[in-house]
Amino acid sequence: MWVERALALLGSVFGGATAYPKARGVWRDDERGGALVLDEPVVIHVYTQAEAIEDAENLAALAAFCKAMGRETNQGEIGLVIADEYFAIRNYEEDP
């Protein structure tokens, strides 16, 4: 469900997206003493124009989606890479 929602949002806002099949991953959970957690993330790749990613409305839609997904799926972190810079989203509170 979340992959479909992400593709719909990213296609509408940024012009298209590609979801890769489930990958195999691991992350260190420092809140549980550094326990390693195995997971199967889905990686979604988007190519877009700089104007689209710099648009405040587009960024607000992307942030709202990431926060909702983080809350509703109980994620420790949602990660975005934009122009080779990693952004960790951990605060899932809705903006006023």
2-35, pLDDT tens digit by residue?
Answer: 999 999 999 999 999 999 988 999 999 898 999 9
**79 exposed, middle or buried (CB, 10 Å; 0-12, 13-18, 19+)?**
middle
**13 exposed, middle or buried (CB, 10 Å; 0-12, 13-18, 19+)?**
buried
51-69, pLDDT tens digit by residue?
Answer: 999 999 999 999 999 999 9
Predicted model pTM: 0.85
